[in-house]
Amino acid sequence: MKYYLKLSFTFLLAFVFMTSCSDSSSNDEVLEEVVDDVTDDDATNDDDIDITGLLALFDGTGLSYEISGEYVIFTTIDVPNHGSPYWDQSNELFEAYNGTNADFNLNPNSIEEQNIVFTIPLKPVAADTNEPTRLGPIGISRNGVVFFNQYAGPNNQPLTAEVNSFDQGAGHPTGTDTYHYHVEPLFLTTTFGSDAFLGLLADGFPVYGPVENNEAVTNDDLDDFHGHTNATAEFPSGIYHYHITDADPYLNGNGYYGTPGNISQ
């Protein structure tokens, strides 16, 4: 975005000097307006981003947050607020698998409460050096369940086999009983819409569903980090954001677009 603004700025300057050399006071006024416009657009797309307004959208079992300086600190017990066969059968949310995958195979793990803490910047910016995501939590969904990247542990394996253990909400627990989403969290998109805000990655940039402007988002629409800058319902002036898609890497590509905060569990 900055590149295009600067390029436009250059052409505007050239136009002013070529067409208005005879009136220096008029030139000064036009130049001042051009500089103000470019500066304002840059600020809208970078310096003024603040995700504080998204925090009210987070609501889940055992999920809380507090603001500390320029960071938000989320604490989650990381349990879904929807049915799953991974709940203990005595739990009111236990629900036998009723999804659409004919190859569903229950894995041997179960949903257990965790203690996961994210410290996430409230004013995310693009990183000078992009960090890769790790195995384990890389972000938090709006219902408190954590996001994982596109790999299965322990050696960054494709999700080809693991996908058959995803429950009807499209999540599952690991060997440490950490429930998580790798792909579109179907409970959330069914509840809030396929174009809805779904959560945050650890760098503070938001995650949205697989639809934008009434059209399905594909990997070809996104950059190497699986995101792009565009207007959203919460940020009509535009913000960089990630999208869930139906093809690998699903949520995140080659790392964080911004600088991630701290994750502990």
32 and 87: one domain?
no
pLDDT-derived band at 46, boundaries 50, 70, 90 = low
Q: Do 139 and 13 belong to one domain?
A: no
pLDDT score for 44: 42
118 pLDDT exceeds 80?
Answer: yes
- Which residues have a Cβ under 8 Å from the Cβ of 48 and sit 6 or more positions away? none
Cis amide leading into 154 (omega within 30): yes
How far apart CA 239 and CA 210 sit, in angstroms, is 16
Higher pLDDT, 133 or 23: 133
Pick the closest to residue 58 from 128, 135, 146, 136 (CA basis): 146
- State whether 103 and 226 are in the same domain: yes
pTM of the model: 0.82
Same domain, 65 and 112: yes
**What pairs with residue 140 in β-bridges?**
146, 200
Q: How confident is the model at residue 157 (pLDDT cuts 50, 70, 90)?
A: confident
Predicted local distance difference test score (pLDDT) of residue 21: 38
Residues 13 and 124 in one domain: no
Residues 132 and 166 in one domain: yes
Indicate if the pLDDT at residue 104 is higher than 90.
Answer: yes
Region 13-41 average pLDDT:
38
Q: Same structural domain for residues 34 and 55?
A: no
Shared-domain flag, residues 147 and 21:
no
* Residues 6+ positions from 223 with CB-CB distance below 8 Å: 253, 257
Q: Are residues 217 and 103 in the same domain?
A: yes
Q: Show the DSSP H helices in the chain as ranges.
A: 2-19, 24-42, 186-192
Which of 118, 108, 112, 119 lies closest to 79, judged by CA? 112
> What pLDDT, on a 0 to 100 scale, did the predictor assign at position 71?
98
* C-beta separation of 60 from 145 below 8 A: yes
Kindly report, residue by residue over 170-222, the tens digit of the pLDDT.
999 998 999 999 999 999 999 999 999 999 999 999 999 999 999 999 999 99
Distant-in-sequence, close-in-space partners of 210: CB < 8 Å, separation ≥ 6: 184, 189, 194, 216, 217, 243, 244, 245, 246
pLDDT category of residue 48 using cuts at 50, 70 and 90: confident
Angle between helices 24-42 and 2-19 (to 10 degrees): 170
Examine the domain organization and report whether 79 and 7 are in the same domain.
no
Q: Which of 3, 166, 200 is nearest to 85 (CA)?
A: 166
- Report CA-CA distances (Å) from 12 to 2, 23, 30: 15, 16, 9
Residue finishing a domain among 47, 66, 84: 47
Boundaries of domain holding 162:
51-265
Q: Are residues 153 and 263 in the same domain?
A: yes
- Structurally, the chain folds into a number of domains equal to 2
Q: Looking at the structure, do residues 180 and 212 belong to the same domain, yes or no?
A: yes
Other CB atoms within a 10 A radius of the CB of residue 141 amount to 25
